[in-house]
Amino acid sequence: MELELSGIVIIVGAYGSGKTEVSINLAVHMNAKGTAVRLADLDLVNPYFRTREARRALRRLGIEVVLPPARYMQADLPILAPEVSGMLRHPSGLAVLDVGGDDVGATVLAALADAMEGQSMQVLQVINPNRPYTDTVSGCLKMRKAIEAKARMTITGIIGNANFMEETTEADVLAGYAFSKDVAEAADIPLVFITTPAALLTRLDKKDIHCPVLALRRQLVPPWMRADALGAWEAGG
């Protein structure tokens, strides 16, 4: 089952859900399929593990990365680059917006409503049942309502990102798929795709998974670890 996205895709979710890793790997996957991709870092809350940390690797692949001005790159400040409004008013291919965690991070989206008016847009909530506050269906739905209220936008789909980082097993991915499907059904919105560590992709039994599966190569790592090499790989279902 192929993962196909276009237009404006906004990635939201709880703090620690892994939405930035998802955003980066989604951008790489679609770029490898020949789609022109622009990725905007709108995480204006958390000063760590942001899309900008992978900017050099992404640009080497031909992915345009929209960031705050260089002098504010490491600042924990609510700074929006003018290029963000431009890429939203004139989208082509795929424009991915990586938004800060929880409802606080999603507040920035309310300021972009005018720029996105009339555009094809999806707002996708990343859920990880192995994180606090989103380990139950009701918790995920509560987070959804809080994000929607601050963003003044409606979440249109779910991304399942169940993992324990390096300790993730095939059983974890399959259990996460079942959980994500339950959340999507409760919210009455589609489960757009789930993720798996790239090392598990070929071993994962996908016969009972009825949505695309995106392989993740981890980019946002502590200083003592090396990020995985970015490049072309498959998403299947």
Where are the chain's structural domains?
7-236
Beta-ladder partners of 7: 94
CATH architecture type of domain 7-236: 3-Layer(aba) Sandwich (3.40)
**Sign of CA pseudo-dihedral 105, 110, 111, 112:** positive
**pLDDT tens column, 156-204:** 999 999 988 778 999 999 999 999 999 999 999 999 999 999 989 988 9
**pLDDT tens column, 12-31:** 999 889 998 999 999 999 99
For the entire predicted model, the pTM comes to 0.86
Q: Which residue has the tokens 């994500």?
A: 180
Grouping H, G, I as helix, E, B as strand and the rest as coil, residue 20 is: helix
Q: Which residue has the tokens 């196909």?
A: 4
Alpha-carbon distance of 24 to 227, in angstroms, equals 12
Alpha-carbon distance of 80 to 173, in angstroms, equals 35
Alpha-carbon distance of 164 to 131, in angstroms, equals 9
In terms of C-beta density within 10 A (0-12 exposed, 13-18 middle, 19 or more buried), how is residue 183 classed? buried
